[in-house]
């Protein structure tokens, strides 16, 4: 596959005006993205848990916490409809590990060093890694929505809401994927990337994942959930299921996901440059 990056593919062989043998960026991205996607498909052991585990927790929470819908002020009478938003975020965070893990593996087994010797652009490497992640995110979004609807969840936003959901999941995948890439590039160790898992879990659990923020009784917990950006990502997706079109929730969700994506990709690019110079 690395050969494809260096020279193969239509248009790749033609030298550019600058005199370098570098193939155009889209071809490099395409080659890396193809590798990332094929790698994902060939490793079901990496993919299956990140798809199944969020569904398992959704099932457990929907059955175990349905009594919470009796709390005065709870926004819906179906806990499944309330909880399904969290599933998308959980899956995106699991995928973060996947993206970081793949790159760390490349660094550990020397593939990355060989890649550095080619005229490939750092941006192509990153975009390629993220492409697999986005594809996975889209697959998960479709699957979770289908499972949720079959199980009886409401989707108040309707068909148009699906496209908004898909867009938001993509931005979130890029944002969290970027964090995974930073860890992988900086440490070059799959074990270190895995070490991020507890931190990600803390971010998930200390959010508004199980109850709306206004119904959390403990002040300290409500405070943590309010300053935790993950709460707003969950609430944006949740709004599509419960309210339909809640401009404020969606703006906050897209805004925060966008900021995380821009910052994580910028930092990952910077780290990548440093790693390539080593």
Partner 1 sequence: MNDSGQNMYFSAARAVAWRYLHNLYSKPAVFIPGLVFPLFFLAAFAGGLSAVGDTPRFDYYDFTAFQFGFILIQASSLAGVFVGFSIAADFEQGMGRRLMLATSRRSAILLGYAAGAALRLIVVWVIITGVSLLAGMEVRGNGYDLAGMYMLGLLSNVVALLFSAGIAFRFRSLQAGPLMQMPVFIALFLAPVYVPQDLLTGWIEPVARVNPVTALLNGARSLMAGEPTGILLAYGVAAGMIALLGIWALRGLRKAEMAG
Comparing C-alpha atoms, which of 66, 96, 75, 27 is closest to residue 240?
A: 75
Angle (CA) 28-51-46 rounded to 5° is: 55
Beta carbon nearer to partner 1, 25 or 60 = 60
- By C-beta, is 9 or 49 nearer to partner 1? 49
CA atoms within 13 A on the CB side of 248: 1
Rounded CA gap, 138 and 95, in Å? 12
Pick the closer one to partner 1 by CB: 55 or 168: 55
- Residue 30 CA to residue 210 CA, distance in Å, equals 40
Q: Which CB sits closer to partner 1, 202 or 259?
A: 202
What residues make contact with partner 1 under the rule CB under 8 A?
49, 56-57, 59-68, 70-71, 198, 201-202, 205-206, 210-211, 215-218, 220-221, 225
Q: How far is the CB of 136 from partner 1 (least distance, A)?
A: 20
Name the minimum Å distance from CB 169 to partner 1.
24
Q: At its nearest, how many Å lie between partner 1 and the CB of residue 250? A: 24
> Is 95 within 8 Å of 137 (Cβ atoms)?
yes
**CB atoms inside a 10 Å sphere around CB 214:** 9
- Kindly state the smallest distance separating residue 255's Cβ from partner 1, in Å: 24
SS3 72: coil
Nearest-approach distance from CB 153 to partner 1, in angstroms: 12
Return the closest-CA partner of residue 212 out of 103, 10, 69, 17: 69
Nearer to partner 1, 13 or 71 (CB): 71
């Amino acid at each position: 596959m690395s050969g494809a990056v260096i020279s193969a593919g239509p248009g790749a062989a033609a030298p550019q005006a600058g005199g370098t043998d570098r193939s155009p960026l889209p071809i490099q991205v395409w080659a890396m993205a193809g590798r990332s996607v094929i790698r994902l498909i060939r490793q079901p052991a990496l993919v299956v848990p990140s798809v199944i585990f969020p569904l398992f927790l959704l099932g457990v929470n929907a059955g175990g916490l349905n009594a919470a819908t009796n709390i005065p002020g709870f926004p819906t009478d179906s806990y499944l409809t309330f909880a399904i938003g969290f599933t998308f975020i959980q899956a995106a965070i699991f995928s973060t590990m996947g993206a970081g893990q793949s790159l760390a593996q490349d660094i550990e087994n020397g593939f990355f060093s060989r890649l550095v010797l080619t005229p490939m652009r750092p941006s192509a490497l990153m975009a390629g890694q993220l492409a697999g992640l986005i594809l996975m995110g889209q697959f998960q979004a479709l699957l979770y929505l289908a499972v949720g609807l079959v199980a009886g969840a409401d989707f108040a936003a309707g068909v148009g809401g699906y496209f908004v959901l898909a867009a938001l999941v993509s931005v979130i995948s890029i944002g969290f994927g970027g964090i995974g890439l930073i860890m992988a590039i900086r440490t070059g160790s799959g074990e270190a990337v895995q070490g991020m898992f507890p931190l990600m879990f803390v971010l998930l659990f200390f959010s508004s994942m199980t109850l709306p923020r206004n119904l959390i009784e403990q002040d300290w917990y409500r405070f943590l959930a309010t300053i935790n950006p993950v709460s707003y990502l969950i609430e944006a997706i949740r709004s599509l299921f419960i309210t339909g079109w809640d401009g404020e929730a969606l703006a906050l969700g897209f805004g925060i996901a966008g900021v995380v994506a821009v910052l994580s990709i910028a930092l990952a690019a910077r780290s990548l440059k440093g790693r390539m110079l080593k």
